[in-house]
Chains A and B, each alone.
Chain A
Amino acid sequence: GDSVTQMEGPVTLSEEAFLTINCTYTATGYPSLFWYVQYPGEGLQLLLKATKADDKGSNKGFEATYRKETTSFHLEKGSVQVSDSAVYFCALPLAGTYKYIFGTGTRLKVLA
């Protein structure tokens, strides 16, 4: 069945380091793909999305490319900031239903 696999955290980086959070998926067809972010004490909010293969979603310096060859949607940022410390979730809608599948989340901690 459809699924999302995220790299386990926590990920601890120094400020200005390069970030990659891996996300791979198994899906029927080519669903839209999403990254959500949850800052401490807040609800989830959409970070970026891609609606078809080879699309690149970007926001706040983060990017992710929808790669159907590798069934991946890895999240990247060239230079992280302390304010990026949060939990990041990869997600996709389950084919044929209205449910969304979320990854388990990856906690990122950025040190000054």
Chain B
Amino acid sequence: GAGVSQSPSNKVTEKGKDVELRCDPISGHTALYWYRQSLGQGLEFLIYFQGNSAPDKSGLPSDRFSAERTGGSVSTLTIQRTQQEDSAVYLCASSLENGRYEQYFGPGTRLTVT
């Protein structure tokens, strides 16, 4: 079946603009995760969803970052007033259930803020 998809694959934006990143998880996966991977760095947890709710938003770097998930499926990560330090690859992952099953990752969105 189809894997996790993300769009766009690449996004170049000017500092101060807002961006939206989209994630389509695997059908039937109730858990959805967002991570950030900066150049040469490991994974930074941002937020996860169980269904449509986000019990843990502690990883969001600032209030410029927000995320939502609708219908227990598609999720959007929004970054307002982008800064150059937001440049990174944003990865989305989904899994059948939180905490026990492996996560399936999308190819990521490479965000460049100029």
Chain A: residues with CB nearer than 8 A to chain B? 32, 34, 36, 42-46, 49, 89, 93-94, 97-100, 102-105
Chain B: residues with CB nearer than 8 A to chain A? 4, 31, 33, 35, 41-43, 45, 48, 50, 55-56, 59, 91, 93, 98-100, 102-108
- Given contacts A34-B102, A93-B100, whether A98 and B91 have CB atoms under 8 Å apart is no
Chain A residues with Cβ below 8 Å from B48 are 98-99
- Given contacts A97-B56, A98-B56, A99-B48, whether A104 and B102 have CB atoms under 8 Å apart is no
Chain A residue with the shortest CB-CB distance to B4: A43
Chain A residues with Cβ below 8 Å from B56 are 97-99
- Given contacts A32-B100, A102-B42, whether A43 and B106 have CB atoms under 8 Å apart is yes
- In the complex the two chains form, is B99's CB within 8 Å of A89's CB? no
- In the complex the two chains form, is B105's CB within 8 Å of A98's CB? no
- In the complex the two chains form, is A43's CB within 8 Å of B45's CB? no
- In the complex the two chains form, is B55's CB within 8 Å of A98's CB? yes
- In the complex the two chains form, is B99's CB within 8 Å of A93's CB? yes
Chain B residues with Cβ below 8 Å from A99 are 45, 48, 56, 59
Of the residues B31, B35, B104, B106, contact of A98 by C-beta under 8 Å: B31
- In the complex the two chains form, is A100's CB within 8 Å of B91's CB? no
Of the residues A32, A42, A49, A102, contact of B43 by C-beta under 8 Å: A102
A105 to B39, CA, bound (A): 12
Least Cβ–Cβ distance between A50 and chain B, in angstroms: 11
A102 to B108, CA, bound (A): 17
Chain A residues with Cβ below 8 Å from B50 are 98
Q: Lowest 5 CB-CB distances: which A-B pairs, in order? A: A98-B98, A104-B42, A43-B105, A44-B105, A102-B43
Q: Can you add 17 more A-B contacts, CB < 8 Å, to A43-B107, A105-B43?
A: A32-B100, A36-B105, A42-B107, A43-B106, A43-B108, A44-B91, A44-B93, A44-B103, A46-B103, A49-B102, A93-B99, A97-B56, A97-B99, A98-B48, A98-B56, A100-B103, A105-B41
